[in-house]
Amino acid sequence: MSCSGETIEEEEQLLQIRPAISAQLKKAKYGVADHSTVGLCHWTKKSFKHEGSCYKHKFYGISTHRCMEFSPAGMYCENRCVYCWRPMEFYDSMEMEADQVAEPEQILTKLMAERKKLINGFYGDSRNDKQRLDESLLPAHYAISLSGEPTMYPKLPELIKYLKTLEATKSIFLVTNGQEPDMIQKLQDEDALPTQLYLSTNAADYESFMKINKPKYDDSWERWNKTLDMLKDLNTRTVLRITLIRDYNDQKESIPAFAEMFRKASPHFIEIKSYMHIGRSTNRLEHENMLEMDEVKNFSEEIAKQSKIFSIMDESIISRISILQNNERFIDRFISTYANTI
């Protein structure tokens, strides 16, 4: 057992999130199964009432109400990012052994059941669209993120390939902190890349990287840069996502280094978003660390200008995010499987 009592690792048993922590997660409306977690995001709930959609619908065409956000590594992560609004205080294990983790089909079966419980609670409110609720029970989009670092799950290639076999699946997004480049390479080698791969990119220099991400690996900067260098050769859509935090990484002086990094990595898209003062991050940062949309927009425009290969594609004011598109590696912003639903 870990010093914090986070997980229980017994021989011939699956890794488990400790009951006390599981209870806290469930109280916060997470679904929990073994070492995996699932949840309904703010925008999924809003979409049930036709009160808006996630910016990923506007940017890429995904169906917000049919998005399943989950993680196969709910309490495992190599970083302790200052802006993380998840319960990272309970992260402390750095290993997930293959013989102690659930199989992909097990994970999805259990999490789908947990997710159904979360959705069932919305049927009692007449303001919610029953048809949308019914449709949401069969996900079309899978966002492998939520909490923890999904690339730590040793059977991630099998999980993504399994999701692709499901008839209703239209897209799969994977968000990574870049600390497991060997897993990214494995996804490429085994033809198991997601529809779109996100790399969290919050610093353009070593000192800022350490200050913001607070990594546990001694070679974390090298690991992240290795993942960054891989992006342009991956056979999938790629995105760099910056979380701008006032006084941490939003300084004008950092823009040239960011622009050079982006030009070198050459992802298809760059999402530049303000930190949001929510969840557990409120224990580490202040409300003033959030940027206004005008500031995000100005930063994005300067990045586009200095990079020379990116241009502003769109924005979401309510989410305080701008998206840039690579003009040299241009692809259709909208995912083709949603062509008749956008």
- Angle made by CA atoms 95, 144, 152, in degrees to the nearest 5: 15
Residue 259 lies in a domain: yes
Indicate if the pLDDT at residue 140 is higher than 70. Answer: yes
Res 278: pLDDT: 86
What gap in Å lies between CA 214 and CA 132, rounded to an integer? 40
Range with the poorest average pLDDT among 86-90, 161-165, 199-203: 86-90
Per the structure, how many domains does the chain have? Answer: 1
pLDDT digits (tens, 9 = 90+) for 187-225: 999 999 999 999 999 999 999 999 999 999 999 999 999
Question: Per the domain annotation, does 297 fall within a domain?
Answer: yes
What rounded mean pLDDT belongs to the chain?
93
Statement: residue 2 has pLDDT above 60: no
Closest CA to 133 of 121, 150, 149, 145: 121
Q: What CATH number should be reported for the domain holding residue 186? A: 3.20.20.70
**85 within domain boundaries:** yes
Two tokens, residue 194 = 């997601």
Strand partners, 141: 67, 171
Percent of the chain at pLDDT > 90 equals: 84
In a domain, 151, yes or no: yes
Which two structure tokens, joined as six digits, stand for 226? Answer: 């290795």
Distance of CA 292 to the CA centre of its chain: 22
What range does the domain containing 214 cover? Answer: 25-338
Phi, psi dihedrals of residue 4, rounded to the nearest 5°: -90, -5
**pLDDT for position 13:** 87
Q: Hey, how many other C-beta atoms are within 10 angstroms of the C-beta on 329?
A: 14
Per DSSP, helices labelled H in 61-179 are 104-120, 130-136, 156-165
Q: How is residue 35 annotated by DSSP?
A: T
For residue 112, give the DSSP letter. H
In a domain, 9, yes or no: no
